[in-house]
Structure 1
């Protein structure tokens, strides 16, 4: 059952403001932590919309804040792509979640899709590609979205999650990452972690490979079936858990020794990452189709180097083969 807000316009604007400010704080604090670890700073590009609604380089305005940052060729981090948005606009007539492939929902039943609909969207995303192949790629994205009739929201949801994509599997890393997120989810509902972990495994799946992108984490979308304040607290707590879940792993692995063969395997794993984004990611398709996402932002999250082979099956019994087995059949880590 979809939860529909029974709030005044003033209260809803206040909720938007809270989540918007949180995502901006998360964006800045996470970048600062990564800069401290790496010793190199992010570069930044802001975007704005012209009178035709086209994204152009320039300082963001009040109704369209869109910021990309990238850290490239750092001391520890080979590439980090991060993004923050807080935008208002109109979905093109006929644009829906179903049409874009973003997610099959009953939203079309509540909205007249034959006309343009006003929306507000805010969120922050991070994709971290360490240089050392023993350190896993990490991804986190949290967002809030609403469709409005004038000033009144008629449909809203929260979404997001975090997941881990190792080239080399260390079971203690997987356990730690999942345990931190489970501890947060359990504060709100004992069923949340298992539900979100299953959703993560299902979403980050590459059908043409019959493999999962990584070793999972948590993922949820169209979360709106409970008290808004509770869900807001859940999402902000999960977002706050990302760095405690990931940074100890990065610290453990960033200085490990590795070979050219290890680095090449990392590039093959990164190739799967690219395949998922370009062929499977529903949110990316919706963002590009609706005009909410710049193409530069999509490619900003791509790995700095990736490889493909005609037949990349690893040697039986190798560490690479062990990873492939887990990618074929997700584990319960806790």
Structure 2
């Protein structure tokens, strides 16, 4: 496979997304993020410390804000070696069989970079949002054996406003359509299928776009596409925050939001393949996982909403994903 002229560009793109989106969230909330950097110690355990040439790993957190109850943010640019015999598909990396054939039974070099946000607003009328984009390559820097882009953005509302869903999807469709009219329907379907909780028989949220193992076509076009995706999240999500942040809500609305948060936790712990791969490979610090969890969550036995209620309407959409456009 032709070597992509990507590393050294895409890590800067993701760092720019990280900084710009944090700045926008701070401006809305009027509260600042805290920051923690991490390195591997001699035993391969994550420990707090200054980043090195091989490892840039930054977590940021905003808790108990004026608009956001909790925001977990992460930026990574890291190179190292995969554990010998790691099977990428089975461990959750979503890579193809071709990538697994390259890794085999030996330890092999990799480079990975990406940025992710999980945003849990205080007002239950604002949806939780997730955005993550990443680049991964296997093999030596001078001639990677295999590489791909992955990521996407999606919404998890507690209360469904159709105009918000349409807006979020429309912004992402606009980016996709600039490059390939097949992208949006393809990536929207992938999003619905990936962010699904099997034991609940329902989606985690109302979708967005999601792709992985994206490496077919012109490398520079793919780089431009992913760059534009990183820029699309703020205009897709922030107008929704502005529209809903001052709406009134009840204690009952807040409790329902905590039930939705419970579903979010269930997905991360039981169904998120990317998390399994990150922990198995040592690329993900468990503290980053906890950082993206909601600060409050509830579970209730057989939590059936009242027929005809807003909560029941949302639950129906989660069980039967809709086409928003």
Which residue pairs with 1:313 in the alignment?
Answer: 304
What displacement does 1:109 show? Answer: 5.1
Listed one character per residue, the Cα deviations across residues 142-162 of structure 1 (whole Å, up to 9, x for unaligned) are 000000146420000000000
- Answering whether residue 279 of structure 2 is matched by residue 288 of structure 1, we say yes
Which residue pairs with 2:206 in the alignment?
Answer: 215
What displacement does 1:89 show? Answer: 0.3
Listed one character per residue, the Cα deviations across residues 118-149 of structure 1 (whole Å, up to 9, x for unaligned) are 00000000000000000000000000000014
SS in 1 for 2:126: coil
Match for residue 21 of structure 2 among 30, 35, 55:
30
**Aligned counterparts of 1:109 and 1:73: Cα–Cα separation in 2:** 43
TM-score by length of 2: 0.98
SS in 2 for 1:111: helix
Which residue pairs with 1:225 in the alignment?
Answer: 216
Which residue pairs with 2:8 in the alignment?
Answer: 17
**Aligned counterparts of 2:141 and 2:238: Cα–Cα separation in 1:** 43
- Answering whether residue 234 of structure 2 is matched by residue 243 of structure 1, we say yes
Listed one character per residue, the Cα deviations across residues 288-331 of structure 1 (whole Å, up to 9, x for unaligned) are 00000000001110011000001110000000000000000000
- Answering whether residue 79 of structure 2 is matched by residue 79 of structure 1, we say no
- Answering whether residue 152 of structure 2 is matched by residue 161 of structure 1, we say yes
Which residue pairs with 1:141 in the alignment?
Answer: 132
**RMSD between aligned residues:** 1.1
Which residue pairs with 1:69 in the alignment?
Answer: 60
Which residue pairs with 1:100 in the alignment?
Answer: 91
Which residue pairs with 2:187 in the alignment?
Answer: 196
SS in 2 for 1:152: coil
What displacement does 1:53 show? Answer: 2.9
What displacement does 1:61 show? Answer: 0.6
Structure 1 spans left out of the alignment, 5+ residues: none
**Aligned counterparts of 2:39 and 2:270: Cα–Cα separation in 1:** 28
Structure 2 spans left out of the alignment, 5+ residues: none
Which runs of structure 2 are paired with 1:175-194 in the superposition (5 Å)?
A: 175-194=166-185
**Aligned counterparts of 1:65 and 1:201: Cα–Cα separation in 2:** 32
What displacement does 1:108 show? Answer: 4.4
CA contact (8 A) 2:99 2:146 kept: no
Listed one character per residue, the Cα deviations across residues 55-79 of structure 1 (whole Å, up to 9, x for unaligned) are 2110111110000000000000000
TM-score by length of 1: 0.95
Aligned length: 325
Which residue pairs with 2:165 in the alignment?
Answer: 174
Runs (4+) off by over 4 Å: none
